[in-house]
């Protein structure tokens, strides 16, 4: 009797142990394997708007966080100065024109009177015309450049988007090439999910994905557009052409690195606003297309 009870006890204990292991396995699948990450970020490409010509900012035509279309004027740089430069260049062209006309007339006269004028002088006159013609070309190029510069004093939006972090005020002196404000390219808005490398085998390009912004209940629909081509090897330092410099590590604990997965947004609920930099939870729904994933178990 006692013997029988022992067997029942052992069996029951074994079953309970198996249930525990099964539950742990299910939890592990649910929280460690399924392609879900809370480390997603809304991202968009940013164009730093810089002036092509230097000078004082005379007018700022956009307010902070304003939506702009492609080609809209964002701010204006010292137009009077560049207009004066254009006038100077135009006057230069006119003066060259006059000099060229005079030299041409002389040249024509010289050619008409070859008996009384030395050949050398005729040659010199000819050369002067050619030289002045070349100078004329220079002056025209300088005028076109001045016109171009004047056009560039109107700094325009290269893409449609939202200007951000605008603190530019009239009177600020901008040197050419120095970024003055940031333009967020709205069309490039996407979500980058940083998935642990252990979750990556389940993700394929084209898989549908759900995105939940922090604190927003509505689901944003998207799909996996691409997976990063590479990430930095953090264990290794040193430039190319040098010997490898690998960090000495004490690897009891190794952490899965994160690989950026680019999710393109297909449908945004009307009341949801996406702002680059926002935190998002990304859930990828692997398609059932008969793929086989050979994933290692916890060991």
Partner 1 sequence: MIEEIHLFGIYMPAALAWGVVSIVLVYLLREPLQRFPIYRLLWHPSLLEVALFVLLWWGLSFLADTFLHSWLAA
Binding site for partner 1 (CB under 8 A): 8-10, 12-13, 16-17, 19-20, 23-24, 26-27, 30-31, 34, 36, 38, 210, 212, 214-215, 217-219, 281, 283
Q: How far is the CB of 68 from partner 1 (least distance, A)?
A: 34
Q: Which is nearer to partner 1, 23 or 137 (CB)?
A: 23
Tokens of residue 180, six digits: 């003055």
The CA distance from 40 to 191, in Å, is: 7
The CA distance from 211 to 102, in Å, is: 75
3-state secondary structure of 80: helix
The CA distance from 43 to 282, in Å, is: 13
What are the beta bridge partners of residue 194? 260
Q: Which is nearer to partner 1, 103 or 280 (CB)?
A: 280
Q: How far is the CB of 35 from partner 1 (least distance, A)?
A: 10
Q: Which is nearer to partner 1, 185 or 194 (CB)?
A: 194
Give the alpha-carbon dihedral of 143, 144, 148, 150, to 10 degrees: 30
Cα separations (Å) of 65 from 158, 167, 181, 275?
A: 16, 11, 11, 11
The CA distance from 19 to 210, in Å, is: 32
Quick one: how many helices (H) and strands (E) in the chain? 3, 16
Q: Which is nearer to partner 1, 38 or 61 (CB)?
A: 38
What are the beta bridge partners of residue 49? 181
Q: Which is nearer to partner 1, 17 or 275 (CB)?
A: 17
CB 278 within 8 A of CB 212: no
The CA distance from 194 to 34, in Å, is: 14
Q: How far is the CB of 279 from partner 1 (least distance, A)?
A: 8
Q: Which is nearer to partner 1, 30 or 61 (CB)?
A: 30
Query: Which uninterrupted H or E stretch holds 280?
Result: strand 279-284
Q: How far is the CB of 246 from partner 1 (least distance, A)?
A: 33
Q: How far is the CB of 205 from partner 1 (least distance, A)?
A: 21
What are the beta bridge partners of residue 56? 173
Q: How far is the CB of 185 from partner 1 (least distance, A)?
A: 29
Q: How far is the CB of 215 from partner 1 (least distance, A)?
A: 7
Q: Which is nearer to partner 1, 17 or 145 (CB)?
A: 17
Cβ neighbors of 111 (< 8 A, separation 6 or more) are: 122
């Amino acid at each position: 009797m006692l013997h029988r009870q022992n067997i029942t006890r052992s069996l029951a204990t074994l079953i309970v142990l198996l249930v525990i292991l099964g539950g742990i396995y299910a939890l592990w699948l649910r929280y460690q394997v399924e392609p879900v990450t809370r480390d997603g970020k809304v991202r968009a490409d940013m164009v730093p708007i810089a002036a092509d010509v230097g000078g004082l900012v005379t007018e700022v035509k956009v307010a902070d966080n304003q939506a702009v279309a492609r080609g809209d004027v964002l701010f204006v740089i010292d137009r009077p100065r560049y207009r004066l430069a254009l006038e100077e260049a135009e006057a230069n062209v006119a003066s060259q024109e006059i000099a060229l006309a005079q030299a041409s007339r002389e040249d024509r006269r010289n050619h008409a009177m070859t008996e009384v004028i030395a050949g050398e002088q005729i040659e010199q006159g000819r050369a002067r015309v050619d030289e002045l013609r070349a100078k004329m070309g220079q002056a025209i190029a300088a005028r076109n450049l001045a016109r171009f510069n004047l056009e560039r004093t109107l700094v325009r939006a290269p893409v449609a988007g939202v200007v951000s972090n605008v603190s530019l005020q009239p009177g600020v002196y901008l040197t050419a090439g120095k970024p003055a404000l940031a333009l967020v390219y709205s069309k490039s808005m996407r979500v980058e999910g940083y998935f642990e490398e252990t979750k990556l085998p389940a993700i394929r390009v084209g898989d549908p994905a759900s995105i939940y912004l922090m604190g927003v209940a509505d689901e944003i629909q998207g799909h996996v557009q691409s997976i990063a081509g590479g990430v930095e090897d953090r264990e290794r330092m040193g430039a190319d052409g040098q010997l490898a410099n690998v960090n000495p590590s004490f690897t009891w604990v190794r952490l899965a690195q994160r690989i950026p997965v680019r999710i393109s947004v297909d449908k945004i609920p009307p009341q949801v606003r996406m702002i680059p930099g926002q935190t998002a939870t990304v859930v990828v729904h692997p398609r059932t297309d008969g793929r086989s994933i050979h994933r290692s178990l916890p060991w």
